[in-house]
Every structure is written in structure tokens, then in C-alpha cells.
Amino acid sequence: MGPPQRRRILFVEDEGEMYIYLHEHDDGWEQYILKGTPYAGFAEMRTFGPWAITDYDDVTDFAAIVLSILRVI
């Protein structure tokens, strides 16, 4: 079994488009960010989207995904 992974989910709006970012990292990366340790560890960012704010169906789909994620966490 590998090192434990940590996840962060970001919901982002940028210039009329909405995105979901899933950021996963291990302890080594977190220590690099917090304490400046020389080993950077591993981090990965996945992007989902875009959904247009001006499109009703896109907003409905995005909202359903966000609500589903929030129910799980």
C-alpha cells in the first residue's frame, strides 16, 4: 500500500465558465509546502469542465455534480 493521499476539491468560476478541480497530494508534498522540506512529494491536479454560466443546462448539471460531491464529503 502506498502513502496516504489527501484531496481537495475546488469549485471555480472564471470569466463565465465553471470548473471543478480535484487536487490530490501525499504527505511529502504537504511538508514541502508547509515547511520547505527538500523532497517535494507528489501532487496531481485534475480539471473537469468548463460549464457555461449563461447556459441553463450547464448550470443545472454543474449544480447537480456539486450537490452530489457535498453529500459524500
How do residues 5-62 score in pLDDT, each as one tens digit? 788 999 999 999 999 999 999 888 888 888 988 877 888 999 999 999 999 999 999 9
**Whether the Cβ atoms of residue 52 and residue 17 lie closer than 8 Å to each other:** yes
Residue 64 in this model has a pLDDT that exceeds 90: yes
How confident is the model at residue 46, as a pLDDT?
Answer: 96
Q: pLDDT band for 70, please (50, 70, 90 cuts).
A: very high
At residue 42, φ and ψ (nearest 5 deg) are -135, 135
Q: pLDDT band for 1, please (50, 70, 90 cuts).
A: very low
